[in-house]
Structure 1
Amino acid sequence: MRIIFSTLIFITGMLNTMSQDRSIPLYQGNPPGNKTQDTEETWTTSASGSAIVTNVTVPELWFFDSKCKQPAPAIIICPGGGYQYQAYEHEGKQVAKWLSQLGYQAFVLKYRLPDELLFDQATTIPLTDALQAIASIRKNASQLGVDSTKVGIMGFSAGGHLAASASNLFKLDLPLGSVTGNARPDFSILMYPVISMSDDLTHQGSREALLGKQPDEKQIDLFSLEKQVTPETPPAFILHAQDDGSVPVENTKQYAEALRKANVPVQEIILPRGGHGFGFRKESPAFEWTRHLEKWLKNL
Structure 2
Amino acid sequence: MTYYFFSFGRYMPFIKKLSFYGVMLLTFYVQGSKAQTNIPLYPDNQILFAKEGTEIPRLTVYKPAKMKSDIAVIVCSGGSYGGRANDWEGIPACKTLNDAGITAFLLDYRVPNPTRMQHKEIVPLTDAQRAIQYVREHAAEYKVDAAKVGIMGFSAGGHLVTTVGTHFGKTALDNPQSTSLKPAFVIAVYPVVSFADSLTHWDSRNNLIGPDITSAEIKEYSNELQVTVDTPPFFLVSALDDNVVKVENSLYLEAALRQCEVPVELYLYAKGGHGFGVNNKTVSKQWTAPCMKWILSNKWKISNNK
Matched, 1:77 2:75: yes
Q: 1:43 aligns to what?
A: none
Correspondences of 1:211-290 after superposition (within 5 Å) = 211-281=209-279, 283-285=281-283, 288-290=286-288
1:126 partner amino acid: P
1:34 partner amino acid: A
TM-score (norm 2): 0.82
Q: CA offsets per residue over residues 221-249 of structure 1, 9 Å max, x none?
A: 11100000011110010010000000000
Query: Rg: which structure is higher?
Result: 2
Q: 2:46 aligns to what?
A: 30
Residues 269 and 19 from structure 1, CA distance in 2 versus in 1: closer, same or farther, beyond 3 angstroms?
farther
Structure 1 CA distance, aligned partners of 2:283 and 2:155?
18
Q: 2:24 aligns to what?
A: none
Correspondences of 1:129-140 after superposition (within 5 Å) = 129-140=127-138
Could you say what the CA RMSD is over the residues aligned between the two structures, in angstroms? 1.9
Correspondences of 1:105-116 after superposition (within 5 Å) = 105-116=103-114
Structure 2, gaps ≥5 residues long: 1-31, 299-306
Structure 2 CA distance, aligned partners of 1:19 and 1:169?
35
Structure 2 CA distance, aligned partners of 1:188 and 1:59?
21
Q: CA offsets per residue over residues 80-139 of structure 1, 9 Å max, x none?
A: 000000001121111101211211110110000111111000000000000000111011
Report which of the two has the higher share of helix: 2
Q: CA offsets per residue over residues 155-209 of structure 1, 9 Å max, x none?
A: 00000000000001011143xx444521110001010000000000000110000
1:264 partner amino acid: V
Structure 2 CA distance, aligned partners of 1:215 and 1:18?
43
CA contact (8 A) 1:90 1:281 kept: no
1:285 partner amino acid: V
CA contact (8 A) 1:193 1:247 kept: yes
Deviation beyond 4 Å, 4+ runs, structure 1: 17-20, 67-71, 177-180
Q: 2:14 aligns to what?
A: none
Correspondences of 1:150-161 after superposition (within 5 Å) = 150-161=148-159
Structure 1, gaps ≥5 residues long: 1-16, 40-56
CA contact (8 A) 1:278 1:286 kept: no
2:51 partner amino acid: K
Structure 1 window deviating more from structure 2 (244-253 vs 62-71): it is 62-71
Structure 1 CA distance, aligned partners of 2:98 and 2:248?
31
Q: CA offsets per residue over residues 256-292 of structure 1, 9 Å max, x none?
A: 1100111100001211000000003463438611122
CA contact (8 A) 2:50 2:118 kept: yes
Residue 20 of structure 1: how far off its partner (Å): 5.5
CA contact (8 A) 1:18 1:93 kept: no
Q: Which of 86, 89, 96 is the equivalent residue of 2:87?
A: 89
Identity %: 38
1:62 partner amino acid: T
Q: CA offsets per residue over residues 28-76 of structure 1, 9 Å max, x none?
A: 123011111x35xxxxxxxxxxxxxxxxx21111100125467610000
